[in-house]
Amino acid sequence: MIFSEEQEELRRTVRTFLERTSPESAVRRLMETDEGYDAAVWKQMGEQLGLQGIHIPEEYGGAGFGFVELCLVLEEMGAALLPAPFFASAVLAAEALLESDDEDAKKELLPGIASGETIATLAYANDAGHPDGAVEANSTPAGYTLTGTRHFVLDGALADLILVVACADAGPSLFAVQKGAEGLSTVPLSTMDLTRKQADLTFDATPARLIGAEGAADGVLDRVLWLACVALVNESVGGARAVLAQATRYATERLQFGRPIGSFQAIKHKCADMLVAVEGSRSAAYHAAAIAQANDPSLPAVASLAKSYVGEAYFSVAAENIQVHGGIGFTWEHPAHLYFKRAKSSQLLFGDPLHHRELLAQRFGL
């Protein structure tokens, strides 16, 4: 994909901003906190750069750019390992609202997400990425209430607005629950990747607002999860690019026997394989972003292909980066481990490579 000068300027602006606001020291400090993000940086992202609403239409308070621009922003965030609820709020929750048919909900809820004033998330699954009936919706004279549990909700303990997929009489439906609602309890989880917070959410007759029509969540969720896969692979490309840079820099600076270790054949081969994996991932991710923006019907196949390839490639590159660094790469204090854990969590999020290859096989009748 060839990007325009405006898109490249967006990339440079976001990269410069994140180099200043999300260095390794800030990532390590924030990932140990309950909130997991810097409120001042989040405010800057919304007020000065408009990142949270970059792909939200102007009529709903956003900047009105496309999905490709969102993916460019995510790539830079992945390179910086930005600890923030951006993916949950600007991707999952925003797309769920945009894909719904509820115009009133869009006009009311999207401007807050676009400005960053509202942190939102999507609670849709209790396992490796598939919705189920663990949350039931009950109709009452006053509206709806939800009862049940959703596990592994991205930034679930932090969110001001929670969009929940629950089973109503007409089938899976989308509901909105506000932070602090009666009967809502959140339990932050201790996860392998501390840079991406997760929580279990329990609803006990919790008041909720129906978004769209009853039984319409399946179609919304399908589209949202394919878009989430595309967004995630572009974020992963940024991380893979960063660890490749770490490995090649160390290979040129680290001396053994009076020579840079990058001059040794074994290290050369590792770095060459890493470069091939990163460039292949970049091509797959950018193509998927273009397909998503064009609303092309091939999105499910392209998203699965990209998710299966990039997920493995990022993890492989992150692991090889540790090997290139040798003994120091195995220490927790080295940044290679931060990317290694992010790569593994991203590989599993929204379905692992095996799951997506199975989906591809089914799609093509294999």
Domain identity same for 223 and 211: no
Domain identity same for 237 and 317: yes
Query: Does the pLDDT of residue 104 top 80, yes or no?
Result: yes
> Which of the residue ranges 65-79, 234-248, 262-276 would you say has the lowest mean pLDDT?
262-276
Q: Which domain holds residue 210?
A: 120-215
- Find the mean pLDDT for residues 224-235: 98
Domain identity same for 226 and 342: yes
How far apart are alpha carbons 87 and 58 in whole angstroms?
A: 20
Query: Does the pLDDT of residue 127 top 70, yes or no?
Result: no
Domain identity same for 300 and 358: yes
* b/e code 232-268 from CB counts within 10 Å (16+ = b): bbbbbbbbbbbbbebbbebbeebeeeeeebbeeeebe
Domain identity same for 163 and 206: yes
* pLDDT score, position 129: 45
Q: What are the residues whose beta carbons fall under 8 Å from the beta carbon of 25, sequence distance 6 or more?
A: none
Instruction: Using DSSP, state whether 129 is helix, strand or coil.
Output: coil
- The last residue of one of the domains, among 215, 240, 265, is 215
- pLDDT tens profile 349-365: 999 999 999 999 999 88
Question: Residues of the chain with pLDDT > 70: what percent?
Answer: 98
Query: Does the pLDDT of residue 120 top 60, yes or no?
Result: yes
Q: Does the predicted model carry a pTM greater than 0.75?
A: yes
Domain identity same for 35 and 94: yes
- Find the mean pLDDT for residues 241-254: 96
Number of domains making up the chain = 3
Query: Does the pLDDT of residue 126 top 80, yes or no?
Result: no
Question: Residues of the chain with pLDDT > 90: what percent?
Answer: 90
* pLDDT score, position 186: 97
Query: Does the pLDDT of residue 132 top 80, yes or no?
Result: no
- pLDDT tens profile 155-211: 999 999 999 999 999 999 999 999 999 999 999 999 999 999 999 999 999 999 999
Domain identity same for 244 and 352: yes
* pLDDT score, position 128: 45
- pLDDT tens profile 294-336: 999 999 999 999 999 999 999 999 999 999 999 888 888 899 9
Alpha helices in 47-164 (DSSP H): 67-80, 86, 94-99, 103-115
Query: Does the pLDDT of residue 241 top 70, yes or no?
Result: yes
Strands, E, within the chain: which ranges? 120-123, 135-140, 143-154, 161-168, 171-178, 184-188, 198-211, 255-256, 259-260
Here the CATH number for the domain that contains residue 206 is: 2.40.110.10
- Find the mean pLDDT for residues 10-24: 97
